[in-house]
Amino acid sequence: MMRRLTTTAGILAAAGALVLGMAPSASAAHGDLFNSTWRVVNPSGCISVPLEDNRFHVYNQTNEYAIAYMNNDCTGPVIDVIPPDGESDGGEIAVLGRAVWIR
């Protein structure tokens, strides 16, 4: 009985270590997020984006999706989802202050 309990505990410990070892690591996207006035290399997290002539335009040359939010702290409605190697639609924005979240 004791041997079975020890074996079971060992199997559970090994399985737990395997699962923890397979967890994805946190890292920045690889590539550039930019427009004509700024550039961020290997971006990560919430990035405040200046408007160009009251237009929001971002190029995403990374390996991750970039999510554009209405507010400059990455809150509020999503105004665009920019795929890897894509660009935002450049829509006109009436309110100042925008941000992009990228993993």
Write down the pTM of the prediction. 0.65
Measure Cα distances from 74 to 2, 7, 18, 40 in Å: 54, 49, 34, 16
At 30 the pLDDT is 96
What are the domain boundaries of the chain?
31-102
Amino acid code (one letter) for 14: A
At 15 the pLDDT is 47
**Helix count (H) and strand count (E) of the chain?**
1, 8
* Residue, of 42 and 22, whose pLDDT is higher: 42
Tell me which DSSP letter residue 22 carries.
T
For residue range 75-96, list pLDDT tens digits in order.
988 888 999 999 887 665 544 4
How many angstroms separate the CA atoms of 6 and 72, rounded?
A: 54
